[in-house]
Chains A and B, each alone.
Chain A
Amino acid sequence: MNAEFTAEEIVFQKDVREFMQNEFPAEMKQKIDANIRLSKAETVRWQKILYQKGWAAPNWPVEHGGTGWTATEKYIFATEMGLVGAPEPVPFGMKMVAPVIMAYGSAEQTQRFLPDILESNVWWCQGYSEPNSGSDLASLKTTAIRDGDHYVVNGSKTWNTYGQFADWIFCLVRTDNTVKKQEGISFLLIDMKTPGVSLKPIVLLDGHPEVNEVFFDDVRVPANNLIGEENKGWTYAKVLLTHERTNIAGVPRGKRRLLALQRIAANTDDGFGGSMANNPGFRHKLARAEIELLALEYAELRTLAALSVGKAPGPESSILKIVGTELAQSMDELFVELAAYHSLPFLPDQFEEGFQGVHIGPGNSAAAALTYFNNRKLTIFGGSNEVQRNIICKAVLGL
């Protein structure tokens, strides 16, 4: 039994680390460290750097432009990328729709869509949730009715992340109303520029319109944009959900944030002449967060070790999702606790590109609350943590 990488893996790790240090643009790193959101152009720039290196899509099969890495190599790559703070690719194209196209799309669809995803030429967004279909996704009501060579789509989607930047949207739509709800759903790709598609931003509690409502009003979609067979969309979507759970625990990001907490604590007055790093209560909470991260890291490594000896991924991803997101949220609380009064100014703009006003508060302290607010999403999206618990009950405990 050992937790060590092989000699080859250590060489690989060194290569990846050097690449990240040399190639991740310094100005982007500064922004990440200062809690400033990256623009679409910057995210694309980083994705193209990875693409040039051949590392844009480690999880894709080699024939589609993947790397052919082992599970451990993928883990190393994700870890090193997370440790420098480089953003993961926007998941909707690379991680969500692409695997479905590969598995169930036609040869024509594969050629038409995958290269642009790999090169980050085309941005995708997701059309799953609806106002009345959240965790009970299969109850969705947006309809697609066949009309000659087209489907006519009507309805609305919500919690659509970054639709304002997207060129295409992949949707679950109802194509049969007469059968069991899961059996009347199809998987449809829609060009965002199609007449009848409109977007309404939803401002979240952190002041940022990260998500949208998307409306479909008699939108005519070519029938050859259907993935696989009609009414099989639920099956395809489910496969997608169990897929692509690499780095779901967020350990590298957790490590970066823990270092930041330690650094900020050392530089934050406790109000009584000492620093928060020596405040017994805070120290204790920080130690517990670090210990949780270590437990999570080893839970992830155990999953990885099982994968690398050929075991299928199981409900472990649900554990990693639950623990990783709840830990991330508890770290958010620690940032707010450190910032104290400095977390209360509500000036979201000062953490946006090009802010010209007077910056309030030391460092990023005023971003602490905004991040805390925004990260409430972590336990809600990607299958809420309650849904993950249902999965554990069903798949592991047999309840």
Chain B
Amino acid sequence: MDFSYSEEQQMLQESVQKFVHKNYDFDTRKKIMASAAGYSAANWQLFAELGWLTVPFNEADGGFGGRAVDLMVMMEEFGRAMLVEPFLPTAILCGGLISELGSSAQKSALLPQIMGGELQLALAYAEAGSRFNLANVTTTAVRKGDEVILDGTKILVLNGPAAQHLLVTARESGAATAARGISVFLVDSKTADVSMTKYPTVDGRQAAQIQFKSVRVPVASRLGAAGAALDGLNVVIDRATVAVSAEAVGALEALLRKTVEYSKTRKQFDVPIGSFQALQHRMADMFIECQLARSIVLRAAMILDSKDSAQEKSKAVSAAKCRIGKAIKKVSQEAIQIHGGIGMTDELDVAHLFKRVTAIDLLFGNGDFHAARFASL
């Protein structure tokens, strides 16, 4: 049993820490968020040069190894610094799905571009009525000769505004929540009748609601066999779930650290507020939550990298996401409460960390959803 990071993992961690220290203070991040793109293209190029964009990919695809633990190490640091660059949508979600479902031609066409930092992608899978059920797809894909016609609306397409291509889930057959019948298509964002409404999200990311109105795409743009995408989608979303959970661990630890520091300097009644036991015990509980969150995410990452069955893996992921949801509520809410009014202001990073972890709590299913999924597996 050994829970220490390998040399490579330590280097990866230091690499992100160094970048954040040099290039990503809170004010810089704010400027990046206020820019037209909402992320820094220069940073994205740097990520490519540093090799970070290869981390989600296995060696056969030319990547760093595709290990969940490596990704965890990195995402935790991303979480601490609240990086807004679209690593999750482009590299983890879309890259993961191409790697999981794509033909070798599709992989060799797309993956090097992702890893090289040349391609931005977005996964359009959620719908207005789907909530967290990946099998709930009402967008239709109707075969017509060599083409497929897509109709439907996708919500919360992260990185939609910057994406050159979209990966779109659509139903070729079956009822609205049937496991079989779901396919994924690669769609150029500029295709006629793809209409995108762009918006920022609460946590400073860029997203879009996208309507597909009789959008014609070649059959060859499908990733994998017709109607057989759900298993692959599950695998990729599971990996992404552990990645954002690790991101949350970093963000929660940042919230804890900032809260404890603040409580030592903020004085009321002539003493630091951190001397009040009413606050101390709540900070102790925040610390415990952070430790449990770290433990269960580590467990999930290790099980994803193991030879356990697909079911065991999904179960471990749900355990982690369920538990992290509880930690998110506890730690983030207490962080604002203990800071008091200042914690609610836009100028303090605490509020931004709060908003990011709130979004993570909902991403890919909240705690209740994953408790139910855990129990059913």
Contact = CB atoms under 8 A, between A and B. Distances in A.
A295 B296 contact: yes
Contacts, number: 116
A299 B3 contact: no
Nearest to B275: A399
The prevalent SS among residues of A at the interface is helix
A3 B292 contact: no
Interface in A384-398: 386, 389-390, 392-393, 396-398
A147 to B, nearest CB: 42
Contact of B323 (A4, A295, A302, A386): A295
A284 B368 contact: yes
Contacts of A398: 260, 264
Contacts of A284: 368, 371-372, 375
Contacts of B102: none
B375 A283 contact: yes
Interface residues of A, number: 39
Interface stretch (A195-203, A204-212, A234-242, A303-311): A303-311
Interface string A291-306: 1101110110110111
A381 interface: no
A80 to B, nearest CB: 16
A9 B186 CA distance: 49
A323 B277 CA distance: 19
B284 A287 contact: no
Interface in A254-310: 280, 283-284, 286-288, 290-292, 294-296, 298-299, 301-302, 304-306, 308-309
Interface residues of B, number: 38
Contacts of B293: 295
B4 A322 contact: no
Contacts of B64: none
A286 B323 CA distance: 13
A120 to B, nearest CB: 32
B264 A399 contact: yes
Contacts of A299: 291-292, 295
Contact of B281 (A296, A298, A309, A389): A389
Given A1-B9, A302-B295, A288 B1 contact: no
B128 to A, nearest CB: 25
Contacts of B132: none
A392 B1 contact: no
B295 A287 contact: no
**Residue of A1, A280, A302, A386 most packed against chain B (CB within 10 A):** A1
Contacts of A309: 2, 4
B302 A392 contact: no
B129 to A, nearest CB: 21
Interface in B105-123: none
B374 A287 contact: yes
The prevalent SS among residues of B at the interface is helix
Contacts of B4: 1, 305, 309
B69 A397 contact: no
A5 interface: yes
Contacts of B330: none
B19 interface: no
B260 A399 contact: yes
A323 B290 CA distance: 12
A1 B372 contact: no
B124 interface: no
B223 interface: no
B164 interface: no
A288 B302 contact: no
B260 A72 contact: no
Interface in B264-302: 264, 274-275, 277, 280-281, 283-285, 287-288, 291-296, 298-299, 302
A319 B2 contact: no
B375 A1 contact: no
Nearest to B302: A3
Contact of B6 (A1, A290, A291, A390): A1
B13 interface: no
Contact of A294 (B9, B260, B287, B299): B299
B88 interface: no
B292 A323 contact: yes
B295 A298 contact: yes
B319 interface: yes
Given A290-B374, A292-B323, A299-B295, A305 B284 contact: no
Given A1-B6, A299-B291, A319-B291, A393 B284 contact: yes
A22 interface: no
Given A3-B3, A284-B371, A291-B323, A397 B288 contact: no
A2 to B, nearest CB: 6
Nearest to A296: B292
16 contacts: A1-B4, A2-B302, A4-B1, A72-B1, A284-B368, A287-B322, A291-B296, A294-B323, A301-B1, A301-B3, A302-B294, A319-B291, A322-B288, A323-B292, A393-B284, A396-B287
Given A5-B1, A284-B371, A298-B298, 20 more contacts: A1-B4, A1-B69, A2-B1, A2-B2, A3-B302, A284-B375, A291-B319, A291-B371, A292-B292, A299-B291, A299-B295, A301-B3, A389-B284, A389-B285, A392-B284, A393-B280, A397-B260, A397-B284, A398-B264, A399-B280
List of 7 A-B pairs having minimum Cβ-Cβ separation, nearest first: A298-B295, A389-B284, A287-B375, A295-B296, A299-B295, A305-B3, A392-B284
Interface of A: 1-5, 72, 280, 283-284, 286-288, 290-292, 294-296, 298-299, 301-302, 304-306, 308-309, 319, 322-323, 386, 389-390, 392-393, 396-399
